[in-house]
Structure 1
Amino acid sequence: MQYKKYGLILLFSNLLVVMAWVCVNGVQINKIASQEAFRASFMEDIAEYQETSFRTVVPAAASDQRVLECGVLEKKPVYDLNDADYNTLLKIVEAEAGGEDENGKLLVANVVLNRVNSSIFPDTVTEVVYQREFGVCQFSPVIDGRINRVKVSEETKKAVERAIYGEDISQGALYFVARKAVAADKMQWFDRHLTRLFAYGGHEFFG
């Protein structure tokens, strides 16, 4: 009887081990099967997306639309300047900020374009740059003729391009001045009548 008892216990233990092995391996098999099914479904989705994207981009290119490799339309400039306004903007930025870094040049371009957008200034770049108020020019390079003598640098072209495409770091400034280059009595007008926004490089900017 004692041997039968131990025999039954041993048999029962072996059955438990076998059942545990079957359960563990069954879970692994199901997991692998699920992974394979997911991988197959994912690859089908990718193939369908690529086919759809190809059908979308090709007709656009065939219809003379300018598209990038990823199918996104090219970014357009915010300001549509004619040749005269574009060249005037290049020259005034070079004349006013030729010694500044690219952001300093961008700021001057921003101020000119802010004036174009403002109701209290003329509506074009050329009119803004050559504006006279009470017979006085608004920009010193127009007064002394430097605007016609400058050689526009590549950095100035990049800064102006950034401004034309809508990059504005000016906080809405409508005026700028180089304090060290202006007589004290003229500087008082800026300090008394305008709001100083910030300084950058050799210029202070006002709104």
Structure 2
Amino acid sequence: MGRYLDSMDSVVCMEELLDYEKEENGRTMEENDLAEPTLQVRMLEREDSAAAVSDSTQLSISSADYQVLLKIVEAEAGSEDLNGRILVANVVLNRVKSELFPDCVTDVVYQHSNGVYQFSPVKNGTIDTVSISEETKQAVESALDGTDLSKGALYFAARNAANEKNMRWFDTHLVRLFVHGGHEFFG
């Protein structure tokens, strides 16, 4: 995980037991049984004219959530530039912080409501087949360190890969904020 674990100014390791259940492969398991450490990440405020940075806040992310974030960023934006990957990580983290979505990365990424998967790599299984690149690791670490290029986006879509019905929903229910690479970002 590189610099993510090396800088004690930005990461403090601690044990945390989670008392909720999740479904995995058709069976339910207590996350308490995993007893895995949680990484406490402090969002750092930087003066950087090239990137917008969020205010200093606390965000807890487990090592399992970190791995899921790496996988979804690689699966969704592995062919995008560094900023495109940061943007996808930003959207996931924005959802974690939003009252409209679940409170942890894994639950956000694997959310399935009203018959709709929130991320196509979860639906088609590619999230479990990706190899994480160094550029994706760098993008995720940047997003966790506070780099936020998203303008508050909670959604993104690749119009050229999405079906017409899905894009019609984006166009009629959301506000398009901007386009970067192959993705359109919505609020």
TM-score by length of 1: 0.63
Give the whole-Å Cα distance in 2 for the aligned partners of 1:151 and 1:94.
8
Match of 1:202 in 2: 182
What is the Cα-based RMSD across aligned positions, in Å? 1.4
1:75 Cα deviation after fit: 4.2
Report whether the alignment pairs 1:95 with 2:75. yes
Give the whole-Å Cα distance in 1 for the aligned partners of 2:162 and 2:88.
17
TM-score by length of 2: 0.70
| SS state at 2:80 partner | coil
Percent identity (aligned):
61
| SS state at 1:180 partner | coil
Runs of 4+ with deviation above 2 angstroms: 73-80
What count of residue pairs does the alignment treat as equivalent? 136
Bigger-Rg structure (1/2): 1
Aligned amino acid, residue 145 of structure 1: G
Correspondence for 2:99 among 119, 134, 138: 119
| SS state at 1:204 partner | strand
Give the whole-Å Cα distance in 2 for the aligned partners of 1:90 and 1:74.
22
| Structure 1 runs not aligned, ≥5 long | 1-67
| SS state at 1:121 partner | coil
Give the whole-Å Cα distance in 1 for the aligned partners of 2:89 and 2:67.
12
Match of 2:9 in 1: 74
Report whether the alignment pairs 1:149 with 2:84. no
Structure with more of its chain in helix, by fraction:
1
| SS state at 2:184 partner | strand
Structure with more of its chain in strand, by fraction:
2
| Structure 2 runs not aligned, ≥5 long | 1-6, 12-41, 44-58
Give the whole-Å Cα distance in 2 for the aligned partners of 1:74 and 1:183.
44
1:185 Cα deviation after fit: 2.0
Match of 1:193 in 2: 173
* Deviations, residues 155-199 of structure 1 (Å, cap 9, x unaligned): 000000000011100000000000011122221100000000000
